[in-house]
Structure 1
Amino acid sequence: MSTKQISVVPSFIAGEWRTPQSEGGTEVRDANTGELLATVTNDKLDVAAAVDYGRGTGHQELAKLSLHERALKLKELALYLNERRKDLYEISFKTGATKIDSMVDIDGGIGVLFTFSSKGRRELPNSNVILDGPTEPLSKDGSFIGTHIYTAMSGVVVQVNAFNFPVWGMLEKFAPAFIAGVPTIVKPATPTGYLTEAAVRMMLESGILPEGSLQLLSGSARDLMDHLDYRDMFAFTGSAATASKLKSHPNVIDGGVRFAAETDSLNAAILGPDAEEGTAEFEAFVKVVVTEMTSKAGQKCTAIRRNIVPSHLVEPVIAAIGQRIEQRVVIGDPRVEGVTMGALASLEQLADVRAAVQDMIDAGGELAFGRLDAPAVRVAPERDAVAEFGAFMSPVVLRWADARNPLVHSREAFGPVSSVIGYDNLDEAVRLAAMGAGSLVATVCSNDTDTVRSLALGIAAHHGRVHILNRETARSTTGHGSPVPHLVHGGPGRAGGGEELGGIRSVKHHMQRTAVQGSPNMLTALSGVWHAGAEQRLAGCEKFGGQEQYTHPFRKSLAELQVGDGFASDLRVVNLEEISEFAKKTGDTFYAHTDAKAAEANPFFPGIVAHGYLLVSWAAGLFVEPAPGPVLANYGLESLRFITPVAAGDSIRVTLTAKKITPRVTDEYGEVAWDAILHNQNDEIVATYDVLTLVEKENLTYANFEG
């Protein structure tokens, strides 16, 4: 793929690439050299066509695939992009990103696809309905029950992304929406949208994605919200001011558009009082601060803007930060070897950051390190020169005499800028962190457990994520400013109030939770999961519901097995000798199994009772079908509860029912969850649990096994 940029960045709408023919538009330049790369049209884009196409074709095509099948396509897409990431790197350098910055953006975005693919296939059913929570009985006889289900939203999700992460920002929103089955319309920021366009073009050229599942709007789309309604979601990353305007749109207020935002965030890092100079924590703190100042040239919504440190450590911290920057940071064109920090995304962004810093200085901040004029930059190996064309800026550290100065807690300079303020006690540190009015992330750096507990719990309600840093995690941490797809990314208040990522939580953000009520049979048919009271086809003991006409369910492959298939055993008598022998052989000599007098004194037991795990073992002996067959392995139990004790002389029986069947899209077998219920001779429930097995899709392995 050529990295040469086209003259006008195109859009992909309704299944075709569209390039405006009119001249003019917003110029996009190489952040390092000022070279003109492309223009982005100011003409109105056909948003209505994109929305209609997504709701129609996009939804129809995505609905043909199950959750697992869509998750697998994310893996295929990740592998495809992984082979082409070098082409994306070449384009990424033009945005001012270094190789490491590009790795965070591009490889990080691809990593999100891998993670969601894995979690989607491991944690979700292989269907298009997700059950949420336990069944609620709504009638005494069990004929009317209720539960909750998740199904895909019926509209589209419009994803407006910021300029700082043109690939990761797009993929971290796209992945959960795609698994959920909701078509995506991507609207990238103008300064770096040409890189997003290149990534989207690769994704579409792969042929992996269903038609209509991904569209791209490059350019003016001010009427985006006008075309959305309650069926749709608007996911925004950018400034709090823009988010506020969007959130006030009538289609959000009255029309029911789901609005999610990830906005400004004056994130903090708090150094504990135990982290004196010379400690591992002090060193780790300084390292993470400099990393956050210089990674992506500080253009990160998760960057550390406020360093809250013990008052007597303000000057040592400033000095240590400055020293590390001088020793390790080389500003320049990221295509030049040795450069560790590139340019800001544009000259306009540079002007905004410098203006923000000047506002802070005018309000009482003091320039403790760095400069606001053009810095010396690396333009060739071993050669530096004063920056003439690129959007380069020196890292800047501000000192504040008044730690409560409103501007340090409200004005964000979105670049390599960070402030250091002092505190005298932990309560004050918590109050200072909270003055950010809601943040995405804060770091607590301390090796004292009481300090960490006080600070972390004190600030938790004001932050979406708390990163705890000490000598134990200094080497292994993923970093203060690195959201991971497994954990929620978002924050309260100023940070937007949204929750992106978070594993399967973010998939469910793109779905509707619906309460459903009906009979066990109807809810089983609706959800694909067997509910107690629904029809069963039980082999086994006729006295307890089994019938000879039914095949033992362990003899059925997934091609034959249906939810509701099961087995009913006969009663098995429990005797004292077996209980005693189990206690001796296992070492589980708890008095309820060995001491009749002590057991009788316990209000829960009628005397010596059988071990719970002995009952579960006996139950397996009652329902197992021993010959080799489609059941390959038992891989666990879930939700085991012991309800009624079983004494010597009692009897137990088991009813086993296929509850949930999950074929694996990549293997010749799948998982089956079996509902297991143990009863005693009085039909009282003794225990309940789910048995988990791996079962062949087709009965092939042992089809001709003769024993």
Structure 2
Amino acid sequence: MTDHLKFYIDGAWVDPVAPRTLDVINPATEQPIARISLGAAEDVDRAVQAAQRAFASFSRTSRQERIDLLEAILAEYVRRQDEMARAITAEMGAPAALARNAQAYMGVAHLSTAIAVLKDYAFEEAPRGATLISREPIGVCAFITPWNWPSNQIGCKVAPALAVGCTMVLKPSEVAPLSGLLWAEIMDAAGVPAGVFNMINGDGPGVGAALSSHSGVDMVSFTGSTRAGVEVARNAAPTIKRVHQELGGKSANIILDDADITAAVAAGVARIMNNSGQSCNAPTRMLVPRARMDEAKAAAKAAAEGLTVGDPTGDVTLGPVVSDVQWNKIQSLIAKGIEEGATLVTGGVGRPEGLTAGYFVKPTVFADVDPDATIAREEIFGPVLSIIPYDSEDEAVAMANDTVYGLAAYVQSGDIDRARKVARQLRAGQVILNGAGPDLMAPFGGFKQSGNGREWGDHAFAEFLEVKATLGYA
């Protein structure tokens, strides 16, 4: 077990104001692998003051200076990318291949995208008559990031904020803090000016609340549960700061009657089981024509039972879920699905066969699920799929939209024009047609209780900028 007891503030590794520690647990073994310090309001105040001091000069750096800085960060990140992947596997259980090729890679992707966008981004418009419209960095940003895609969520906030000239304080998840510590080491090695990037470990009550309520923070960007997002917004309200949130989801996957049911269902199963179901945009509600439910059940059963679950350092499809808290929540919801009468196609409660330790969950598929059932309404955040029958295309669209969430939606059809027509009716921030892969320039964010604002690509830049009108300029 290793100790990581310092915070990164004002360009130096410093001790917390008051010592308080937490063990970091490897979810595959249930054993502690590291120990971190938990910060408090006094640590937050030190970091925010450092970011405020740094903002005065960093906000006035040139476009080229920030490009050079981002390129230096990218080079250092690439050098330590394999280390980042190993840290993510250890702290939250992502299988090695997923950690390397997706989880850790997203840091590279967001840094590279920010560099590309920054090269041509228009911070000023041509004058409108005598008035100049310009976009300036918003100020000190607080970033509160989750454990499920830890480096991705740090990268998609840090990279665009740096690109436009903001300074920041990061609080990574205390459940999976090793990747955040690595980010701080990377920023330090790349020569980020003192105070521009600061990092404090801690929990929500001790650090998250202090950050979101601090009068010196101009903007807070939070990724996590909708419940916690409400608290962030409540804490931020008295200081009228901008609040950007990427929250929960219960995304529908509409498989239309002209789709290849077997292929579409198998692809849907793979997409939800990826990262052990711990993705906010996972297509957890699969809507299939009632007449083809038997085909869907057979395809889902075969796909789920073809997955391997086990030691994430090996060649497996699914590792554990992140913690005992998550494991117990998922188990209770699987039991609830059985209790409420859904057809258990495969999986169920308990660990997969042969695994006696670790927070492993059986890949679980329910069918004939009532759209009002608990498992069809609540975000489970585990490898659990609900297959829901529908009788018409209009009913499928209505079911898809019948949720408090609106992060993502999926449509599968043999006719792209039909898929596009359905997509236009879906109330979600991102709609994925026929298994399309990610687009780093596409805005990511949700409708309704899935949050507000957008991340990724050029849309992310706007979140960290204020708009200024200078009258009489021309």
Flag whether TM exceeds 0.5 (same fold): yes
What is the TM-score with the length of structure 2 in the denominator?
0.93
Relative distance call for 1:519 and 1:240 in structure 2 (3 A) is: closer
Whole-Å Cα distance in 1 between the matches of residues 226 and 382 of structure 2? Answer: 17
Equivalent position of 1:170 in the other structure = 154
Q: Which residue identity is paired with 2:329?
A: D
Q: Which residue identity is paired with 1:213?
A: V
Whole-Å Cα distance in 2 between the matches of residues 40 and 410 of structure 1? Answer: 36
Counterpart contact for 1:85–1:107, Cα < 8 Å: yes
The offset of 1:356, in angstroms, is 2.7
Whole-Å Cα distance in 1 between the matches of residues 220 and 464 of structure 2? Answer: 11
The offset of 1:357, in angstroms, is 2.5
Moved more, 348-357 or 424-433: 348-357
Question: Are residue 350 (structure 1) and residue 327 (structure 2) matched?
Answer: yes
User: Tell me, what secondary structure is at the counterpart of 1:352?
Assistant: helix
Q: Which residue identity is paired with 1:107?
A: Y
Equivalent position of 1:373 in the other structure = 350
Cα deviation digits, residues 571-629 of structure 1 (max 9, x gap) = xxxxxxxxxxxxxxxxxxxxxxxxxxxxxxxxxxxxxxxxxxxxxxxxxxxxxxxxxxx
Question: Are residue 412 (structure 1) and residue 379 (structure 2) matched?
Answer: yes
The offset of 1:303, in angstroms, is 0.9
Relative distance call for 1:411 and 1:312 in structure 2 (3 A) is: same
Q: Which residue identity is paired with 1:412?
A: E
What is the TM-score with the length of structure 1 in the denominator?
0.63
> RMSD across aligned C-alpha pairs, in angstroms?
2.1
The offset of 1:485, in angstroms, is 2.8
Equivalent position of 1:496 in the other structure = 451
The offset of 1:43, in angstroms, is 5.0
User: Tell me, what secondary structure is at the counterpart of 2:429?
Assistant: strand
The offset of 1:42, in angstroms, is 4.2
Relative distance call for 1:149 and 1:450 in structure 2 (3 A) is: same
Equivalent position of 2:143 in the other structure = 159
Whole-Å Cα distance in 1 between the matches of residues 267 and 9 of structure 2? Answer: 42
Cα deviation digits, residues 271-309 of structure 1 (max 9, x gap) = 1111144xxxx41x2233222222211111111110011
Question: Are residue 75 (structure 1) and residue 75 (structure 2) matched?
Answer: no
Counterpart contact for 2:69–2:190, Cα < 8 Å: no
Q: Which residue identity is paired with 1:54?
A: A
1:227 to 197, 214, 226: 214
Cα deviation digits, residues 26-73 of structure 1 (max 9, x gap) = 32211111221123434525111111110112x134235212331332
The offset of 1:345, in angstroms, is 1.3
Counterpart contact for 1:9–1:194, Cα < 8 Å: no
Relative distance call for 1:172 and 1:349 in structure 2 (3 A) is: same
Whole-Å Cα distance in 1 between the matches of residues 340 and 133 of structure 2? Answer: 53
Equivalent position of 2:226 in the other structure = 240
Q: Which runs of 5+ in 2 are unaligned?
A: none
1:451 to 418, 425, 442: 418
Whole-Å Cα distance in 1 between the matches of residues 260 and 84 of structure 2? Answer: 43
User: Tell me, what secondary structure is at the counterpart of 1:7?
Assistant: strand
Whole-Å Cα distance in 1 between the matches of residues 234 and 463 of structure 2? Answer: 21
Whole-Å Cα distance in 1 between the matches of residues 17 and 310 of structure 2? Answer: 36
Q: Which residue identity is paired with 1:148?
A: I
The offset of 1:167, in angstroms, is 0.9
User: Tell me, what secondary structure is at the counterpart of 2:245?
Assistant: strand
Aligned-residue identity in percent = 24
The offset of 1:193, in angstroms, is 0.9
Whole-Å Cα distance in 2 between the matches of residues 390 and 108 of structure 1? Answer: 26
2:462 to 508, 514, 531: 508
Whole-Å Cα distance in 2 between the matches of residues 244 and 332 of structure 1? Answer: 35
The offset of 1:450, in angstroms, is 4.4
Q: Which residue identity is paired with 1:488?
A: P
Moved more, 70-79 or 265-274: 70-79
1:330 to 308, 312, 315: 308
1:99 to 96, 99, 119: 96
Equivalent position of 2:433 in the other structure = 468
Cα deviation digits, residues 327-347 of structure 1 (max 9, x gap) = 3x11111212x3221111122
Equivalent position of 2:278 in the other structure = 299
Relative distance call for 1:401 and 1:242 in structure 2 (3 A) is: closer
User: Tell me, what secondary structure is at the counterpart of 2:146?
Assistant: coil
The offset of 1:412, in angstroms, is 1.0
The offset of 1:511, in angstroms, is 1.0
Counterpart contact for 1:8–1:20, Cα < 8 Å: no
Q: Which runs of 5+ in 1 are unaligned?
A: 138-144, 377-385, 521-707
The offset of 1:349, in angstroms, is 1.7
Relative distance call for 1:39 and 1:316 in structure 2 (3 A) is: same
Relative distance call for 1:16 and 1:271 in structure 2 (3 A) is: same
Where do 4+ consecutive residues of structure 1 move more than 6 Å? none
Question: Are residue 517 (structure 1) and residue 471 (structure 2) matched?
Answer: yes
Whole-Å Cα distance in 1 between the matches of residues 132 and 20 of structure 2? Answer: 56
Relative distance call for 1:40 and 1:361 in structure 2 (3 A) is: farther
Whole-Å Cα distance in 2 between the matches of residues 62 and 215 of structure 1? Answer: 14
2:107 to 106, 109, 134: 109
Equivalent position of 1:124 in the other structure = 121
Higher relative contact order (CA 8 A, sep 6+): 2
- Say which structure is richer in strand: 1
- Say which structure is richer in helix: 2
Whole-Å Cα distance in 2 between the matches of residues 361 and 200 of structure 1? Answer: 45
Please list, as runs of the form range in 1=range in 2, the aligned pairs for 1:6-405 lying within 5 A after superposition: 6-20=2-16, 25-42=21-38, 44-45=40-41, 46-57=43-54, 59-94=55-90, 95-102=92-99, 103-121=101-119, 123-124=120-121, 130-132=123-125, 135-137=127-129, 145-153=130-138, 155-207=139-191, 209-219=192-202, 220-221=206-207, 222-228=209-215, 232-249=218-235, 251-252=236-237, 254-277=238-261, 282-283=262-263, 285-327=264-306, 329-336=307-314, 338-376=315-353, 386-402=354-370, 404-405=371-372
Whole-Å Cα distance in 2 between the matches of residues 22 and 49 of structure 1? Answer: 13
Cα deviation digits, residues 134-153 of structure 1 (max 9, x gap) = 5433xxxxxxx223111111
Q: Which residue identity is paired with 1:26?
A: L
Whole-Å Cα distance in 1 between the matches of residues 118 and 440 of structure 2? Answer: 12
Relative distance call for 1:401 and 1:389 in structure 2 (3 A) is: closer
The offset of 1:120, in angstroms, is 1.1
User: Tell me, what secondary structure is at the counterpart of 1:68?
Assistant: helix
